Amino acid sequence: MLLICVVGVTIACNGGFKIKVRKVENCGGPDAVITANENYTAVLTKNCEIKSRGCVSFKSFNTAISNLKVKKDGIVVLQDKVNLCERLAKGRRDANIGQMLKTLRLPESCPVEEGTLCTDPSQVVNIEQYKQFLPLARGLIDIEMDIQHDTGKSCFRVQIDIAK
Protein backbone atom coordinates (compact mmCIF):
# COMPACT_ATOMS: atom_id res chain seq x y z
CA MET A 1 0.00 0.00 0.00
CA LEU A 2 2.83 2.26 0.60
CA LEU A 3 3.21 1.68 -3.09
CA ILE A 4 2.44 5.30 -3.68
CA CYS A 5 6.03 6.05 -2.63
CA VAL A 6 7.40 8.92 -4.62
CA VAL A 7 10.55 10.82 -5.39
CA GLY A 8 10.45 14.57 -6.08
CA VAL A 9 9.93 18.03 -4.70
CA THR A 10 6.40 19.36 -4.42
CA ILE A 11 4.67 22.55 -3.31
CA ALA A 12 1.66 21.89 -1.11
CA CYS A 13 -1.82 23.30 -1.59
CA ASN A 14 -1.96 25.17 1.73
CA GLY A 15 0.46 27.86 2.70
CA GLY A 16 3.44 26.72 0.69
CA PHE A 17 4.37 23.49 2.45
CA LYS A 18 6.96 21.56 0.50
CA ILE A 19 7.26 17.81 0.46
CA LYS A 20 10.50 16.25 -0.67
CA VAL A 21 10.88 12.52 -0.87
CA ARG A 22 14.55 12.01 -0.07
CA LYS A 23 14.74 8.25 -0.45
CA VAL A 24 12.73 5.26 -1.61
CA GLU A 25 14.61 2.04 -0.94
CA ASN A 26 13.57 -1.48 -1.89
CA CYS A 27 15.10 -3.51 0.93
CA GLY A 28 13.51 -6.90 0.19
CA GLY A 29 16.46 -8.13 -1.84
CA PRO A 30 16.49 -9.48 -5.39
CA ASP A 31 13.57 -11.84 -4.71
CA ALA A 32 11.23 -9.17 -3.29
CA VAL A 33 7.57 -9.69 -4.15
CA ILE A 34 6.90 -5.95 -4.63
CA THR A 35 9.47 -3.43 -5.89
CA ALA A 36 9.14 0.26 -6.71
CA ASN A 37 11.08 1.62 -9.66
CA GLU A 38 13.77 4.12 -8.68
CA ASN A 39 12.48 6.79 -11.05
CA TYR A 40 9.04 7.08 -9.40
CA THR A 41 8.12 10.79 -9.07
CA ALA A 42 5.17 12.85 -7.92
CA VAL A 43 3.99 16.43 -7.63
CA LEU A 44 1.49 18.00 -5.29
CA THR A 45 -0.29 20.77 -7.15
CA LYS A 46 -1.69 24.00 -5.75
CA ASN A 47 -5.12 22.36 -6.15
CA CYS A 48 -4.19 19.62 -3.64
CA GLU A 49 -3.84 17.00 -6.34
CA ILE A 50 -1.07 14.43 -6.35
CA LYS A 51 0.12 13.55 -9.83
CA SER A 52 2.61 10.71 -10.11
CA ARG A 53 4.69 8.94 -12.71
CA GLY A 54 6.43 5.61 -12.31
CA CYS A 55 5.95 1.91 -11.94
CA VAL A 56 5.72 -0.74 -9.24
CA SER A 57 6.30 -4.38 -10.15
CA PHE A 58 4.93 -7.30 -8.20
CA LYS A 59 4.93 -11.07 -8.24
CA SER A 60 1.75 -13.01 -7.51
CA PHE A 61 0.66 -13.22 -3.87
CA ASN A 62 -2.39 -14.18 -1.82
CA THR A 63 -1.42 -12.60 1.50
CA ALA A 64 0.34 -9.43 2.63
CA ILE A 65 0.93 -8.79 6.33
CA SER A 66 2.86 -5.58 6.94
CA ASN A 67 4.83 -4.43 9.95
CA LEU A 68 4.75 -0.65 9.65
CA LYS A 69 6.80 1.88 11.57
CA VAL A 70 6.58 5.65 11.07
CA LYS A 71 9.05 8.02 12.69
CA LYS A 72 8.89 11.81 12.81
CA ASP A 73 12.20 13.50 13.50
CA GLY A 74 13.53 10.20 14.86
CA ILE A 75 10.63 9.51 17.26
CA VAL A 76 8.29 6.58 16.58
CA VAL A 77 4.77 7.99 16.09
CA LEU A 78 3.12 4.88 14.66
CA GLN A 79 3.89 1.20 14.86
CA ASP A 80 1.30 -1.22 13.54
CA LYS A 81 0.75 -4.62 12.00
CA VAL A 82 -1.57 -4.35 9.00
CA ASN A 83 -3.23 -7.02 6.87
CA LEU A 84 -2.93 -5.23 3.54
CA CYS A 85 -5.33 -7.60 1.76
CA GLU A 86 -8.05 -6.83 4.32
CA ARG A 87 -7.24 -3.12 4.08
CA LEU A 88 -7.63 -3.22 0.29
CA ALA A 89 -10.99 -4.98 0.57
CA LYS A 90 -12.24 -2.46 3.16
CA GLY A 91 -10.80 0.43 1.16
CA ARG A 92 -12.89 -0.21 -1.91
CA ARG A 93 -16.02 0.28 0.25
CA ASP A 94 -14.74 3.66 1.48
CA ALA A 95 -15.65 6.51 -0.88
CA ASN A 96 -12.28 8.28 -0.60
CA ILE A 97 -9.97 5.28 -0.53
CA GLY A 98 -12.02 3.42 -3.13
CA GLN A 99 -11.68 6.33 -5.54
CA MET A 100 -7.91 6.41 -4.99
CA LEU A 101 -7.66 2.65 -5.64
CA LYS A 102 -9.55 3.09 -8.92
CA THR A 103 -7.64 6.18 -10.02
CA LEU A 104 -4.24 4.57 -9.45
CA ARG A 105 -5.48 1.18 -10.72
CA LEU A 106 -4.38 -0.50 -7.48
CA PRO A 107 -5.64 -3.99 -6.72
CA GLU A 108 -8.88 -3.90 -4.74
CA SER A 109 -8.41 -7.31 -3.14
CA CYS A 110 -6.15 -10.34 -2.91
CA PRO A 111 -5.03 -12.53 -4.58
CA VAL A 112 -2.87 -10.22 -6.71
CA GLU A 113 -1.52 -11.55 -9.99
CA GLU A 114 1.99 -10.84 -11.24
CA GLY A 115 2.29 -7.60 -13.11
CA THR A 116 3.46 -4.04 -13.27
CA LEU A 117 1.40 -1.05 -12.23
CA CYS A 118 2.35 2.28 -13.77
CA THR A 119 0.92 5.71 -13.08
CA ASP A 120 1.05 8.90 -15.09
CA PRO A 121 0.11 12.53 -14.33
CA SER A 122 -3.40 12.07 -15.76
CA GLN A 123 -4.21 9.91 -12.72
CA VAL A 124 -4.96 12.53 -10.07
CA VAL A 125 -5.58 11.89 -6.36
CA ASN A 126 -7.10 14.85 -4.52
CA ILE A 127 -5.92 15.28 -0.91
CA GLU A 128 -7.80 18.50 -0.09
CA GLN A 129 -9.48 16.89 2.93
CA TYR A 130 -6.08 16.00 4.45
CA LYS A 131 -4.19 19.26 3.92
CA GLN A 132 -4.82 20.44 7.51
CA PHE A 133 -2.53 17.64 8.73
CA LEU A 134 0.56 18.95 6.92
CA PRO A 135 1.57 21.30 9.79
CA LEU A 136 1.42 18.34 12.20
CA ALA A 137 3.54 16.23 9.88
CA ARG A 138 6.16 18.95 9.39
CA GLY A 139 9.64 17.48 9.81
CA LEU A 140 11.58 14.45 8.66
CA ILE A 141 9.33 11.40 8.21
CA ASP A 142 10.82 7.90 7.99
CA ILE A 143 8.53 5.06 6.92
CA GLU A 144 9.61 1.44 7.29
CA MET A 145 7.41 -1.29 5.89
CA ASP A 146 8.26 -4.99 6.02
CA ILE A 147 5.67 -7.17 4.28
CA GLN A 148 5.37 -10.95 4.57
CA HIS A 149 3.57 -12.63 1.66
CA ASP A 150 2.73 -16.27 1.13
CA THR A 151 5.20 -16.13 -1.79
CA GLY A 152 8.07 -14.21 -0.15
CA LYS A 153 8.68 -10.78 1.32
CA SER A 154 8.77 -7.11 0.39
CA CYS A 155 10.45 -4.26 2.19
CA PHE A 156 10.45 -0.47 1.75
CA ARG A 157 12.23 2.40 3.46
CA VAL A 158 10.97 5.85 2.54
CA GLN A 159 12.23 9.18 3.84
CA ILE A 160 10.20 12.36 3.34
CA ASP A 161 10.85 15.98 4.36
CA ILE A 162 7.80 18.13 5.02
CA ALA A 163 8.78 21.79 5.37
CA LYS A 164 7.34 25.26 4.99
The whole-number pLDDT of residue 13 equals: 61
Residue 2 has pLDDT above 70, yes or no: no
Question: What does the DSSP 8-state code read for residue 150?
Answer: T
Tell me the domains of the chain and their CATH numbers. 8-163 (2.70.220.10)
Amino acid at 93: R
Q: Phi, psi at residue 29, to the nearest 5°? A: 80, 180
Residue 3 near residue 106, CB atoms below 8 Å: yes
| pLDDT above 90: residue 76 | yes
> How confident is the model over 87-102, as pLDDT tens digits?
888 877 776 677 777 7
Give yes or no for residue 6 having a pLDDT over 70.
no
pLDDT at 81 > cutoff 50:
yes
Sign of CA dihedral 26, 124, 110, 114: negative
pLDDT in tens, 20-69: 777 888 999 989 999 987 777 777 777 777 778 888 899 999 999 999 99
> Which of 1 and 154 is assigned the larger pLDDT?
154
Name the residue among 149, 134, 132 with its Cα closest to residue 32: 149
Distance CA 9, CA 55 (A): 18
Q: Give the helix, strand, coil percentages of the chain, each rounded to 5.
A: 15, 50, 35
Please indicate, yes or no, whether the overall pTM of this predicted structure exceeds 0.85: no
pLDDT digit string (tens) for 100-158?
Answer: 777 777 888 899 999 999 988 888 888 788 888 878 889 999 999 999 999 999 999 98
* Helix residue ranges per DSSP H, the chain: 84-91, 95-103, 134-137
Check if the beta carbon of residue 161 is closer than 8 Å to that of residue 20. yes
* Confidence bin at 70 (pLDDT 50/70/90): very high
Task: Inform me whether the pLDDT recorded for 16 exceeds 60.
Answer: yes
pLDDT at 115: 93
